[in-house]
Structures are given as structure tokens and as C-alpha cells.
């Protein structure tokens, strides 16, 4: 907080003094007049002009001294109970404006200061904490995106250099071209996921709700993975209840199902099993995607919905750790629920609960 110039502080102190002076002089004048009138009437004494002048001078002196005492006492009170906490709050706010979100303001003493200061201080501390979390997420996000982009870019660069040499067999040329194309696909998937996530987080996508049959949508999404389950000889089990109709954003939810199926197939070894069930319980549609894959430990389970989180940090399995972050965001926007139960080495079950009551869902959205 910038220090005020000396003259401005003097003007302020003087105006405080004048304020108390008028109040004290008014109160003392009224009291004195009342006292003197009652006294002279009851004692039947006639006051001379000198008596009144002497009393007036004494009273005036009293007023000046009492006003001065009040001004000083009020100045001290204000310094400790108003100016000091206000200065702390302003200093903290200025630091936050400058980008320092680690700043915290100490609560003020309840006996001396107005309790409202502590409420403001609480809000400032909370705001600083939230902003510091957002800042960490932002910097982590940028670092993660850059890191994830570096690998496919390096792959493309290396293979493109190799492709330039003239003594390559046709087979090698095709293999290098395939590697470049796969790195391109990986990069483009990641960029499109980052864009989707950023649009979802900035609420640029608003759910466009429509009434539709959830079972049909689940089957359509699952069928897109037919090539994958055939190649890996994965057994498919489905138990889909008829006529489960929901009112939701069809396109957004299709991302949820695709990500869950894609993970189930990705993390299930050859010859495993993936099952899909849809049940209606009360006004809830319950979707379960289960697999007999590698499973998720409880430690990993706490992080799987975070951006760029992958249990296998070596990235041996394809992916970029954005799929479940997208799923979670869509689930939040749709006001649905998602949970996961898993046993390491045995498999995982992802459960999504959606409201089937169309009108209510529409209202919520």
C-alpha cells in the first residue's frame, strides 16, 4: 500500500479532531447549559457576565482537551483495528496481481478488530489457494502437452531423415512411412483430445440434449471395436435392457463409451473378456463396462481421471492419458456419476449412472 503524504495525514487527523470537537462541544454545551439553568433556578442565583465568560472559557478548554484525547485514542484504535488489517489485505492482493499466489494473510485478533476483516482474509486466502492450484495445473498441463508432443515429433523426424537415404529397400521405405503415419495419428489424437478437453473446460460446448435409446448407442459404439476384439480374440458379453431412454447429449456421451471400450480392449490381453451391461434401476440407467485386463491398483485408481495420467509411465501402451479426464469432464457436465472397481491382475469395472427421467435431466442441463 503506498504511503500517504504527510500533509494528507495531517489533514485527515485534523478532520478527525474537528469531528470530535463538534460532537464534544455540542454535548458539553448542552449539558453545561442544562446544569447551569437548573442550578441557578433552584438556588435562585443570578449569573453575572464574568461568571458566564469564565465558565465558557473553561468549558471551551475542556472541549479542546477532550476532543484531542478522543482523536488520539481513535487514531490508535483505527491504526490497529482498521489500517493494519486493511494494509495486510491490500499488500496480499497486490502480490496476487503480480502473480504470487503463495501469499497468505494472517487472521487478525478477534478482540481488537471487526470480525468482518477475518471473513475478508479467509476469502483472500481461499482465493490465493485456488489460484495457485489453477496455476500449477496450467503449468503442468503445458509441460505435459509439450512432453507428449516431443516423442511423436522425434519419431517423425528420425524416420523422415532415414527415408531420405537412397539405398533403402521397398520394405524399409514402407516400414518408415508406416512409423511416420502412426506418430502423426498419435499426435493428431492427442491434439484433438486437448482441444476437446479445453472446450469442455471452458464450457464452450453446451450439452445439446435429445431423447434417445441408450442401448442402441452403446451397441453402435461397441461395434466400432469389432476389428480390435477379433484381432485380440477377446470374448464379448453383452446384457442390454431394452427401452432405456435417456435425455442427454448423444455426441458427448459417445466419447464416454468410446473411451471406456477403447481402454477395456487396450488393457485386456489376448483371449480375455470384455462385457457390457445396461440396466435400469429406478430412474437410473446403469452402464457397466467390465474387462478381464491388467486391473488398476488403488494407488493408480486415485489418479486415473487426472489429465495425462498413465499408470504405465513408459507409455508402452498407446494413449496419452487424456481419455478418462475427458470422460470425467463429460460426466460432470451431464450430471452423471462414474466409479471404478478393480483388482490388479484380474480386471476392472467402470460404472456410469445416468438419470433416465428426461425432463429432469433437461432441466438440470
Q: Is residue 310 close enough to count as binding ligand ADP by CB under 6 A?
A: yes
For residue 312, the minimal CB distance to ligand ADP (Å) is 6
**Among 35-43, 176-184, 198-206, 314-322, the segment contacting ligand ADP (CB under 6 A):** 314-322
Q: Is residue 257 close enough to count as binding ligand ADP by CB under 6 A?
A: no
Q: Is residue 263 close enough to count as binding ligand ADP by CB under 6 A?
A: yes
Contact 305, 323 (CB under 8 A): no
Of 92 and 296, the one with the shorter C-beta distance to ligand ADP is 296
Q: Which DSSP state fits 207? A: -
Of 19 and 309, the one with the shorter C-beta distance to ligand ADP is 309
Site of grid cell 489460484 = 131
For residue 143, the minimal CB distance to ligand ADP (Å) is 17
Q: Is residue 292 close enough to count as binding ligand ADP by CB under 6 A?
A: no
**Among 167-175, 234-242, 289-297, 356-364, the segment contacting ligand ADP (CB under 6 A):** 289-297
Of 124 and 294, the one with the shorter C-beta distance to ligand ADP is 294
Q: Is residue 321 close enough to count as binding ligand ADP by CB under 6 A?
A: yes
Q: Is 295 helix (H, G, I), strand (E, B) or coil?
A: coil
Q: Is residue 323 close enough to count as binding ligand ADP by CB under 6 A?
A: yes
Q: Is residue 207 close enough to count as binding ligand ADP by CB under 6 A?
A: no
Contact 245, 358 (CB under 8 A): yes
Q: Which residues on neighbouring strands pair with residue 200, listed in sequence order?
A: none
Q: Is 82 helix (H, G, I), strand (E, B) or coil?
A: helix
Contact 267, 350 (CB under 8 A): no
Q: Is residue 194 close enough to count as binding ligand ADP by CB under 6 A?
A: no
**Helix ranges, 224-275 (H):** 226-231, 250-266
Q: Is residue 222 close enough to count as binding ligand ADP by CB under 6 A?
A: no
For residue 329, the minimal CB distance to ligand ADP (Å) is 11
What does residue 246 show for φ and ψ, rounded to 5 degrees? Answer: -125, 165
Of 23 and 340, the one with the shorter C-beta distance to ligand ADP is 340
Nearest residue to ligand ADP on Cβ basis: 319
Q: Site for ligand ADP (CB under 6 A): how many residues? A: 22
Of 126 and 271, the one with the shorter C-beta distance to ligand ADP is 271
Cα separations in angstroms, 360 against 185, 351, 354: 40, 21, 11
At a CB cut-off of 8 Å and minimum separation 6, what does 300 contact? Answer: 311
For residue 315, the minimal CB distance to ligand ADP (Å) is 8
**Among 36-44, 87-95, 100-108, 292-300, the segment contacting ligand ADP (CB under 6 A):** 292-300
Which of 264, 287, 330, 333 touches ligand ADP by CB under 6 A?
A: 264
Q: Is residue 259 close enough to count as binding ligand ADP by CB under 6 A?
A: yes
At a CB cut-off of 8 Å and minimum separation 6, what does 345 contact? Answer: 294, 295
Here the cell at position 295 is 486391473
**Helix ranges, the chain (H):** 6-43, 49-78, 84-97, 115-163, 170-201, 214-223, 226-231, 250-266, 298-301, 323-333, 358-364
Q: How many whole angstroms separate alpha carbon 332 and alpha carbon 52?
A: 82
Q: Is residue 304 close enough to count as binding ligand ADP by CB under 6 A?
A: yes
- Residue 127 — left, alpha, or beta (φ > 0 → left; ψ -120 to 50 → alpha)? alpha
Of 157 and 188, the one with the shorter C-beta distance to ligand ADP is 188
For residue 240, the minimal CB distance to ligand ADP (Å) is 20
Site residues (vs ligand ADP, CB under 6 A): 259, 263-264, 267, 291, 293-296, 304, 309-312, 319-325, 348
Amino acid at each position: 500500500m503506498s504511503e500517504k503524504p504527510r500533509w494528507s495525514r495531517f489533514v485527515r487527523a485534523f478532520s478527525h479532531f474537528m469531528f470530535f470537537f463538534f460532537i464534544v462541544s455540542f454535548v458539553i454545551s448542552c449539558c453545561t447549559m442544562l446544569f447551569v439553568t437548573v442550578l441557578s433556578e433552584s438556588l435562585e442565583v443570578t449569573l453575572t457576565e464574568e461568571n458566564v465568560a469564565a465558565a465558557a472559557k473553561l468549558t471551551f478548554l475542556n472541549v479542546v482537551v477532550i476532543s484531542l484525547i478522543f482523536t488520539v485514542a481513535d487514531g490508535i484504535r483505527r491504526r490497529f483495528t482498521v489500517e493494519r488489517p486493511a494494509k495486510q489485505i491490500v499488500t496480499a492482493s497486490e502480490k496476487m496481481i503480480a502473480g504470487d499466489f503463495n501469499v497468505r494473510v494472517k487472521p487478525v485478533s478477534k478482540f481488537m478488530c471487526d470480525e468482518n476483516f477475518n471473513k475478508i482474509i479467509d476469502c483472500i486466502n481461499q482465493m490465493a489457494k485456488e489460484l495457485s492450484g489453477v496455476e500449477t495445473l496450467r503449468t503442468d498441463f503445458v509441460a505435459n502437452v509439450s512432453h507428449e508432443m516431443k516423442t511423436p515429433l522425434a519419431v517423425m523426424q528420425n524416420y523422415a531423415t532415414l527415408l531420405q537415404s537412397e539405398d533403402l529397400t521397398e520394405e524399409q521405405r514402407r516400414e518408415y512411412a508406416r512409423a511416420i503415419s502412426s506418430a502423426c495419428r498419435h499426435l493428431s489424437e492427442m491434439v484433438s483430445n486437448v482441444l476437446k478437453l479445453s472446450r469442455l473446460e471452458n464450457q464452450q460446448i453446451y450439452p445439446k440434449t435429445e431423447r434417445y435409446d441408450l442401448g442402441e448407442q452403446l451397441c453402435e459404439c461397441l461395434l466400432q471395436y469389432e476389428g480390435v476384439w477379433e484381432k485380440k480374440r477377446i470374448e464379448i458379453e453383452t446384457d442390454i435392457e431394452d427401452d432405456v431412454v435417456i435425455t442427454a447429449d448423444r455426441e458427448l456421451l459417445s466419447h464416454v463409451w468410446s473411451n471406456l471400450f477403447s481402454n477395456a480392449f487396450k488393457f485386456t490381453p489376448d483371449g480375455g473378456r470384455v462385457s457390457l451391461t445396461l440396466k435400469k434401476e429406478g430412474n437410473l440407467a446403469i452402464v457397466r463396462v467390465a474387462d478381464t485386463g491388467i486391473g488398476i491398483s488403488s494407488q493408480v485408481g486415485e489418479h486415473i481421471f487426472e489429465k495425462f495420467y498413465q499408470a504405465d509411465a513408459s507409455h508402452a501402451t498407446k494413449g496419452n492419458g487424456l481419455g478418462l479426464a475427458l470422460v470425467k469432464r463429460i460426466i460432470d457436465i451431464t450430471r452423471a456419476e462414474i466409479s471404478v472397481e478393480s483388482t490388479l491382475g484380474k480386471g476392472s469395472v467402470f460404472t456410469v449412472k445416468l438419470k433416465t427421467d428426461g425432463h429432469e435431466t433437461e432441466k438440470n442441463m
